[in-house]
Amino acid sequence: MPDFPLPPGSTIGVLGGGQLGRMLALAAARLGFDVAILDPEPDAPAARVAAHAIVAAYDDPEGLKALADVSDVITFEFENVPAAALDRLAELGAAVAPDARALGIAQDRLAEKTFLNGAGAPTVGFAAVDSVADLRAALANLGAPLLLKTRRGGYDGKGQIWVHGAGGATTAWKALGGQPCVAETPADFRREVAVVAARGRSGEIALYPLTESHHEAGILRRARAPASATPRVLAEAERIVATILAALDYVGVIGVEMFERDDGKLLVNEFAPRVHNTGHWTLDGCEVDQFEQHIRAIAGWPLGPTEALAQVEMTNLLGEEANAWRKLAQEPETRLWLYGKGEARPGRKMGHVNRLTPLPR
């Protein structure tokens, strides 16, 4: 283990070279760190702004060794890093944060919901589904409809299908490829909210203001922060996030997605053990944004302030929408972030904009 806090000039290793890695690298550079990116793609968005780029599969022993050799601490920006990669880094004596346990729980929706309930964070009702018979049993026990989700690998609403009754069980099971799943009761939410928070190496925590998130076709479209909420909801959100961070003995930034029901009850949907799309507004809305906060946390630095300096609406630029950069760059209230991705496939996150207005008094 290195001595924390890591001094400027140290190198931060990152597994994954997408936009989250890119914004982490930019934040790290601001604090005087170098960054090493490991990604299978030669042209990864983060690799192009980093001091070191290692092009290798996530489970390639040589690539992981090269990353460990050059890095003082290693983190990840991609949630589907194979667990074996973190095991290998641990064998090499690398300091990894967040740790393999947090990643392993977040990678498996069944383990995640089981963990959350065990830690005192409420979720929707759920059942493990390993066969059509399990799915029928879940429909009988929990009622219809149920949202069937693959336990692993889903993102941006992929790997999910509603099942409206026993008659649709076989089709739904097959549509998801007959792999281990979890079936969830409908969340019946009034709105979706998220909390991005950080825990430092000495256990201190810092929460950003509550964010209201709007999904379209399973993809985050827009996030608004700070979101107004009753003091009871704010306190409950804070309690839930603090509980999760403590139960994981977590180091770094986490994104916790929640459903707010009509009666104000909060249910945790899922958490991401990394910087989160619902926290992109902090880039322009806070003194210390979520990317710098994550670097601070894993480097053992003090956490920075998280208050909002403005009201922010973040909008993802999906696919061709990023082609409007000329127009967006002309809007004085709009801060434009582009990820340097080549191909504008439909639904692909190409960038985002933060639109700032003064905080209501």
Ligand X SMILES: Nc1ncnc2c1ncn2[C@@H]1O[C@H](COP(=O)(O)OP(=O)(O)O)[C@@H](O)[C@H]1O
Which partner from the list Mg ion, ligand X, none does 315 bind, CB cut-off 5 to 8 Å by kind?
Answer: none
Contact 98, 89 (CB under 8 A): no
Q: Please report, as residue ranges, which positions from 249 to 288 form the binding site for ligand X (by CB under 6 A).
A: 257, 269-270
Cβ proximity to ligand X, 156 vs 238, nearer residue: 156
Beta-strand relationship, 211-216 and 219-225: antiparallel
Among 215, 261, 265, 348, binds ligand X (CB under 6 A): 215
Q: Judged by CB under 6 A, does residue 191 bind ligand X? A: no
- How many chain residues touch ligand X (CB under 6 A)? 15
Cβ proximity to ligand X, 29 vs 142, nearer residue: 142
Q: Judged by CB under 6 A, does residue 142 bind ligand X? A: no
Cβ proximity to Mg ion, 257 vs 289, nearer residue: 257
CA 322 vs CA 47, 231, 327, 347: distances in Å: 21, 37, 10, 11
Q: Judged by CB under 6 A, does residue 162 bind ligand X? A: no
Q: Judged by CB under 6 A, does residue 112 bind ligand X? A: no
CA 69 vs CA 2, 31, 322: distances in Å: 13, 21, 37
Judged by CB under 6 A, which stretch of 182-190, 245-253, 300-308, 315-323 contacts ligand X? 182-190
Q: Judged by CB under 6 A, does residue 194 bind ligand X? A: no
Return the ∠ at Cα 145 (arms to 140 and 149), rounded to 5°.
Answer: 95
Which partner from the list ligand X, Mg ion, none does 304 bind, CB cut-off 5 to 8 Å by kind?
Answer: none
As a whole number of Å, the end-to-end CA separation of the chain is 47
Q: Please report, as residue ranges, which positions from 255 to 314 form the binding site for Mg ion (by CB under 5 A).
A: 257
CA 283 vs CA 46, 174, 208, 292: distances in Å: 17, 41, 12, 9
Contact 206, 293 (CB under 8 A): yes
Q: What residue number has its CB nearest to ligand X?
A: 187
What residues make contact with ligand X under the rule CB under 6 A?
Answer: 124, 147, 154-157, 184, 186-187, 192, 215, 218, 257, 269-270
